[in-house]
């Protein structure tokens, strides 16, 4: 009886092992990178009165990227941004962005995002679909990413990825100054990875 049970278990192990291991094998080439302001940039831009754009950056963030640099369609990303660490090259602008009207950094010190690559486009870009959480409001968020450059440096191959997307700031409760600043805010990310 016990012998029969062990035989069955052996069969299950042999039969199921490849199934169980398949994702691990598929992900074996995936590498996890920890990203922050030293190896990545997160920028944003807004249009004003249809006349010009302002460009800002977040200077403190951390993210985890799981990526097979040879198969970017499996990418997975999660990140946190310190909303108080925002720069915009106009005097007084950073305080305004930290204020309750915008990020309300005192109450909501972090913005979060997470996403997963969902497919590759004809142009070679890959789409990352996910969620963005700002001011405790979570909304769907999509970015289009691409491998912009792969070059050889002394320490190895460096892959530079860029990604861009757009959010409607009003969807996160940031509705001030709509006459002056457009609702659509462009987000851009640039990442350099040693692959």
Partner 1 sequence: MSDAPDRWSLAQRRLHWWSAALVVLTGVLAVLMVWLPFSEMLAKFLAYQLHKTFGLLVFSVVLARLALRALRPAPALEGLSPGVLRLAGIGQAGMYALLLAVPVLGWLAAQAAAGPVPTTIFLVIPVPHVLDPNPALYAWLRPVHQVAAYTLLGLAALHAALAVKHHRQGVPVFRRMGW
Positions touching partner 1 (CB under 8 A) are 48-49, 51-52, 54, 88-93, 95-96, 99, 101, 177, 179-181
Tokens 């530079």 belong to residue: 160
CA distance 30 to 68: 4
* Shortest Å, Cβ 71 to partner 1: 40
| Nearest distance in Å: CB 46, partner 1 | 11
Query: Which CB sits closer to partner 1, 35 or 46?
Result: 46
Shortest reach from residue 86's CB to partner 1, in Å = 13
Q: How far is the CB of 91 from partner 1 (least distance, A)?
A: 7
**Nearer of residues 41 and 54 to partner 1, judged by Cβ:** 54
CB of 38 to partner 1, least distance (A): 22
Q: Strand, coil or helix: what is 2?
A: helix
| Partners of 168 in the β-ladder | 184
* 19/77 Cα distance (integer angstroms): 25
Q: Which neighbouring-strand residues pair with 42?
A: 58, 189
Judged by CB, which is closer to partner 1: 32, or 179? 179
Q: Which residues make Cβ contacts (< 8 Å) with residue 59, sequence separation at least 6?
A: 37, 85, 86, 87
CA distances (Å), origin 40, targets 15, 46, 87, 193: 43, 20, 15, 9
Task: Decide whether 84 or 142 has the Cβ nearer to partner 1.
Answer: 84
Name beta bridge partners: 55.
45
Tokens of 135: 């001011």
CB–CB of 81/92 below 8 Å?
no
Q: CB 155 → partner 1: shortest distance, Å? A: 32
The nearer residue to partner 1, 54 or 144, going by C-beta atoms, is 54
Nearer to partner 1, 10 or 89 (CB): 89
């Amino acid at each position: 009886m016990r012998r029969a049970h062990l035989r069955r278990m052996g069969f299950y192990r042999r039969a199921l092992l490849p199934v169980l291991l398949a994702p691990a094998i598929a992900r074996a080439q995936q590498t996890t990178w920890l990203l922050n302001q030293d190896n990545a940039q997160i920028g944003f831009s807004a249009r004003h009165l249809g006349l010009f754009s302002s460009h800002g950056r977040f200077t403190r963030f951390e993210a985890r990227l799981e990526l097979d640099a040879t198969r970017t369609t499996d990418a997975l990303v999660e990140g946190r941004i310190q909303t108080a660490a925002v720069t915009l090259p106009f005097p007084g602008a950073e305080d305004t962005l930290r204020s309750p009207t915008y990020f309300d950094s005192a109450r909501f010190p972090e913005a979060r995002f997470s996403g997963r690559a969902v497919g590759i486009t004809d142009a070679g870009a890959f789409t990352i679909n996910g969620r963005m959480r700002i001011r405790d409001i979570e909304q769907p968020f999509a970015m289009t990413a691409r491998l912009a450059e792969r070059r050889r440096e002394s320490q190895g191959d460096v892959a530079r990825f860029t990604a861009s997307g757009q959010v409607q700031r009003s969807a996160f409760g940031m509705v001030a100054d709509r006459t002056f600043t457009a609702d659509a805010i462009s987000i851009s990310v640039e990442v350099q990875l040693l692959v």
